[in-house]
Amino acid sequence: MHDKLNYLDFENAIFKSLELVNPTQLCELIPINNSIGRVLSSDIICKKNLPAFNNSAMDGFAIKFCDAGKTLKIKKSIFAGDKIDDLKESLKENECYKIMTGSKVPSCVDTIIPIENCSFVSESSVKIPEDIKKGSNLRFKGEEQKEGDVILKKGEVINSSIIALLASQGIMIVEVYKKITIAILSTGNELKEPWENSTDEEIYNCNSYALISQLKEKNFEATYCGVIPDDLEKSVEFIRNLKNYDVIISTGGISMGDADFVGEAFLKNGLDIAFHGVNIKPGRPIMMGKMRDSLVICLPGNPLTAMINIYLFVIPMLKKLQGEVFINHGFVKATNKNEFKTKKGRVNIVLGKVKNSIFEVARANKYGSGMITVLYESNAILVTSEEVSSINENQEVKLILLDGHFFDDKVNFLN
Ligand SMILES: Nc1nc2c(c(=O)[nH]1)N[C@H]1C(S)=C(S)[C@@H](COP(=O)(O)OP(=O)(O)OC[C@H]3O[C@@H](n4cnc5c(N)ncnc54)[C@H](O)[C@@H]3O)O[C@H]1N2
Ligand code: MOO
């Protein structure tokens, strides 16, 4: 792979990468207790009104609004869970019910007064204040969600608030998309695993573990498949022997070096390349394509590059493949603290830290893509357009948070 690469522009690369992906259709049923991070594969329709019946939001007295200011006789106490259908007789003049939070409210009353707002409270009577609001402290049947409403859409990632909604509907088993399978590979004779001894010339394989962990943070499970040796024949064989994965992600070995065989090895295994080379910094040699039914994503070997490119490019692809609807990066706005230079003519991905809406670029933007600590020191990335050569002091900037949210609509996060 010594040929000079044609660098695709950033927007096109994002478009082409997403175009490669056909969302999974495979589903399974799982208990909600094990469903955090999984993706709903069908809409959830409300089958029990929220709330299910008119109920009291306070412990107090259920009255007719016209009885404001009067001393009322307490006819009965109503508790949450009580069946009150037997309260056939409606309240007579100067009568009220004592009622607890969450109790069904009889149809003859229209207002709830909290106990602490009343005076002369005894077992049998209570004085209602003068100044009250009709309908206060009542929660009405179906005011939150009505039977038949779509309360959750297919493609949403299950979190604790979604579990609250599912449980509120009496749903214990939910249909989700089957998890996509992802293989993680590293390349390079210089690599040792973290538990091995390494000489001064060797380095520890940090990419595989870092990428698997980032994927785990985003609810994906990846399998580590080992290190491809720097040898074309062995690389071809290594790839040929891989099991069928939905996605294969490698790092390293895709640039112009004499030992960069990864691209060729995938090609010899039938890879249909979508692009090799994107006009970005860092991540220029990035390569993507399809090999049979597998998506192949080859990231550069530099750890910082691999980690930010998997976040920027690959996570949206995996989300799409997993059937998610919210796949596009969102941004937050902040003010840039110190001026810094960027490389004009390329889209720059710049690391830094944002705190209280102030963005501070990492190490004056003079770090290398082989570094690891910079990533640890940062919580956001700033992406520049090709024509930008510096970001000024106090300039308003758009940032993608490294633990940011994803949306269904595409936004322009370029600065
Ligand atoms: N003549 C050119 N040389 C390079 C170009 C170019 O356009 N022309 N591009 C440079 C850029 S940009 C990058 S990025 C790198 C990427 O090259 P590769 O993808 O082939 O990556 P390697 O050479 O295999 O590794 C780069 C670097 O990263 C270290 N590495 C690799 N894997 C791991 C791992 N699993 N854990 C930790 N570190 C890893 C490796 O030892 C190298 O130091 O190419 C430039 N060269
Ligand atoms: O894409 Mo490379 O990581 O700029 O050095």
Nearest atom (ligand 2) to Cα of 283:
1
Percent of the chain with pLDDT over 90: 93
Which CATH architecture describes the domain 328-407?
A: Beta Barrel (2.40)
pLDDT at 257: 77
Residue 196 near residue 202 (C-beta atoms within 8 A): no
279 lines ligand 1 (CB under 6 A): no
- Name the band, by pLDDT with cuts 50, 70 and 90, for residue 1: low
**Atom 4 in ligand 2: residue holding the nearest Cα:** 282
User: What mean pLDDT do residues 173-188 have?
Assistant: 97
86: pLDDT strictly greater than 80? no
Give how far the C-alpha of residue 341 lies from the chain's centroid of Cα atoms, to the nearest Å: 32
In CATH terms, the fold of domain 55-139 is Molybdopterin biosynthesis moeA protein; domain 3 (2.170.190)
Q: Is 210 in the pocket of ligand 1 (CB under 6 A)?
A: no
CATH of 28-45+155-177, one of 3.90.105.10, 3.40.50.300, 3.20.20.300, 3.40.50.150: 3.90.105.10
What is the pTM (predicted TM-score) of this model? 0.93
Quote the CA–CA distance of 397 and 58 in Å, as a whole number: 47
Q: How far is the CA of 202 from the centre of ligand 1 (A)?
A: 14
Domain ranges of the chain: 4-24+180-321, 28-45+155-177, 55-139, 328-407
Q: How high does pLDDT run on average in the chain?
A: 95
pLDDT in tens, 48-65: 999 999 999 999 999 999
Q: How many CA atoms lie within 13 A of 64 on its CB side?
A: 12
CA angle 140, 144, 147 (to 5 degrees): 95
190 lines ligand 1 (CB under 6 A): yes
Q: Which fold has domain 4-24+180-321?
A: Molybdenum Cofactor Biosythetic Enzyme; Chain A (3.40.980)
Rounded Cα distance, 138 and 140, in Å? 6
Which ligand 2 atom sits closest to the C-alpha of 305? 3
Evaluate: CB of 106 within 6 angstroms of ligand 1.
no
In tens, the pLDDT along 367-407 reads 999 999 999 999 999 999 999 999 999 999 999 999 999 99
Residue 255 reports pLDDT greater than 90: no
Please work out whether the CB of residue 349 comes within 6 Å of at least one atom of ligand 1.
Answer: no
Decide: helix, strand or coil at residue 258.
Answer: coil
343 C-beta closer than 6 A to ligand 2? no
What are the b/e assignments for 191-213, b being 16+ CB within 10 Å?
beeeeeeeeeeeeebbbbebbbe
For residue 145, the tally of other CB atoms under 10 A from its CB is 19
Q: For ligand 2, is residue 282 a contact (CB within 6 Å)?
A: yes
